[in-house]
C-alpha cells in the first residue's frame, strides 16, 4: 500500500491476451489515465480465463495497491469467470441488481427482442455490497467495491466499454481518490537523439554521482530508447507541478551540458503531468 500518492494494480483477464490474439491496450490506456488523476500503477498482471489464476492475481494485487482494476471476463459466456473469482477472494455473494436487470431488459427491447437471453441475465449479478457502474457501450456493467483491503473495480475487456465506464460512472470515484491523496506523480522528459543508450547512460551516471543522496531521494530516472533516440524520464511526486519539478531540478541541471548536444524538443515540450 502507498503512503503518498494512491497506488493501483491492473489485472488483465483473457486467454486471448496470453495467446497473442489480442493486444492488451487497456493496461496502457489505464496507466496513462490514472496517472493524470494522481494514481500510479505499480503492478500489472495478465492471466487466462481460469478462476484460480484470477483469484491469485487479485489476492496479490490487494497486497501492493490501494486500487485494483480487473479487466475482462464479465461477459455472459461460460469462460467469463471474473465476478465468480473475485467474489470468492473477498468472501462475497453474487446477487442480482434490479437496476442492471432492468437495463438489460430495456437494451434487448431496443434491439427488437421480447426477452433477455438466459445467459445474458448473468450480467445482472454483482458482488454483494458493490455498486454497478453504467456501461453505455455494452451490456456488462462495471463493478465498484470497497473492501477492507483495497478498492476493487471490475471492468469489461472491450476497450470502448472500458473507456466509457472509466470516463463516466467510475470517474467521480477516481477523482475522490485524487482529492484524498496528498501527492500526484509528475514527469519531466528530456528527448535525445544521435547518441547510443549505453554511451549516454555512462555519461549521465558519472555526472549524477556528484548529486547528493538527499537531492536524489524520491526522484526517479528511466532511460527509454525508441527509434528516434533515448528519452530521459525524471519522475517525482508532489502536490503541484512546481514543487515536483523543484525536486527534480538538481538532477536535471547536473546533466544539462551532457545532453545539450543531443537534445530536441517534442511538440508538447518537456514537462508534463504523468
Q: Is the pLDDT of residue 113 over 60?
A: yes
Residue 107 has a pLDDT of 82
pLDDT band at residue 227 using 50, 70 and 90 as cut-offs? confident
Instruction: Fill in the DSSP letter of residue 129.
Output: T
In percent, the amount of the chain with pLDDT more than 70 equals: 93
Which DSSP letter does residue 78 get?
T
Span 249-263, pLDDT tens digits: 999 999 999 999 999
Distance CA 95, CA 100 (A): 11
CA–CA distance, 95 with 127 (Å, rounded to integer)? 6
Q: What is the pLDDT of residue 4?
A: 53
Query: What does pLDDT average to over the chain?
Result: 90
Q: Identify the residue with better confidence: 162 or 239.
A: 162
DSSP-derived secondary structure letter, 100: H
Q: Which among 85, 103, 107, 106 has a CA at the least distance from the CA of 94?
A: 85
Q: What are 165-223's pLDDT values in tens digits?
A: 999 999 999 988 876 666 677 888 999 999 999 999 999 999 999 999 999 998 999 99
pLDDT recorded at residue 272: 39
35-39, 48-52, 128-132 — which is least confidently predicted?
A: 35-39
- Domain ranges, ordered by start, for the chain: 6-180, 184-273
Checking DSSP bridges between strand 263-264 and strand 184-192, what pairing results, if any? antiparallel
Name which of 188, 189, 208, 194 is nearest 262 in CA terms.
Answer: 194
pLDDT at 273 over 50: no
Judged against a pLDDT cut of 50, whether residue 28 lies above it is answered with yes
CATH code for the part of the protein at 184-273: 3.30.70.2860
Set of cell numbers at residue 161: 466499454
Cβ 247 vs Cβ 240: under 8 Å: no
Cα–Cα distance measured from residue 126 to residue 259, given in angstroms and rounded to the nearest whole number: 54
What is the H or E stretch that residue 180 is in?
helix 171-180
Per residue in 115-132, pLDDT (tens digit) is 778 778 889 999 999 999
* End-to-end CA gap in the chain: 20
**Cβ-Cβ contacts under 8 Å for 73 (sequence gap 6 or more):** 13, 14, 49, 54, 79, 80, 81, 82, 83, 85, 157
Confidence label for 96 from pLDDT (cuts 50, 70 and 90) = very high
> CA-to-CA distance for 254 and 76, rounded, in angstroms?
57
Once rounded to an integer, what is the mean pLDDT over residues 239-253?
Answer: 90
Q: Enter the CATH code of domain 6-180.
A: 3.40.980.10
The pLDDT-based confidence of 265 (bands split at 50, 70, 90) is confident
Q: Which residue has the higher pLDDT, 151 or 239?
A: 151
The cell for 112 is 427488437
Q: Is the per-residue pLDDT at 269 higher than 50?
A: no
So what's the pLDDT on residue 240? 80
Amino acid at each position: 500500500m502507498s503512503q503518498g500518492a494512491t497506488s493501483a494494480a491492473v489485472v488483465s483477464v483473457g486467454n486471448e491476451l496470453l495467446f497473442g490474439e489480442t493486444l492488451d491496450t487497456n493496461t496502457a490506456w489505464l496507466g496513462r489515465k490514472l496517472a493524470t488523476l494522481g494514481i500510479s500503477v505499480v503492478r500489472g498482471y495478465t492471466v487466462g480465463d481460469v478462476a484460480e489464476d484470477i483469484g491469485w492475481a487479485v489476492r496479490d494485487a490487494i497486497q501492493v495497491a490501494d486500487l485494483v482494476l480487473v479487466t475482462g471476463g464479465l461477459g455472459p459466456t461460460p469462460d467469463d469467470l471474473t465476478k465468480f473469482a473475485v467474489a470468492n477472494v473477498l468472501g462475497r455473494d453474487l446477487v442480482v441488481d434490479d437496476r442492471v436487470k432492468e437495463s438489460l431488459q430495456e437494451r434487448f427491447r431496443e434491439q427488437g427482442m421480447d426477452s433477455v437471453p438466459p445467459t445474458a441475465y448473468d450480467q445482472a449479478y454483482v458482488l454483494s455490497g458493490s455498486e454497478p457502474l453504467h456501461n453505455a457501450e455494452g451490456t456488462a456493467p462495471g463493478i465498484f467495491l470497497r473492501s477492507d483491503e483495497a478498492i476493487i473495480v471490475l471492468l469489461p475487456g472491450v476497450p470502448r466499454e472500458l473507456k466509457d465506464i472509466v470516463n463516466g460512472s467510475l470517474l467521480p470515484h477516481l477523482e475522490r481518490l485524487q482529492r484524498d491523496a496528498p501527492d500526484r506523480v509528475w514527469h519531466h522528459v528530456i528527448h535525445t537523439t544521435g547518441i547510443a543508450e549505453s554511451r549516454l547512460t555512462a555519461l549521465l551516471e558519472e555526472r549524477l554521482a556528484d548529486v547528493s543522496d538527499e537531492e536524489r531521494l524520491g526522484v526517479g530516472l528511466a532511460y527509454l530508447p525508441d527509434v528516434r533516440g533515448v528519452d530521459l524520464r525524471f519522475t517525482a511526486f508532489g502536490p503541484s507541478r512546481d514543487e515536483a519539478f523543484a525536486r527534480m531540478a538538481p538532477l536535471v541541471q547536473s546533466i544539462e551540458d551532457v545532453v545539450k548536444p543531443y537534445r530536441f524538443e517534442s511538440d508538447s515540450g518537456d514537462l508534463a503531468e504523468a
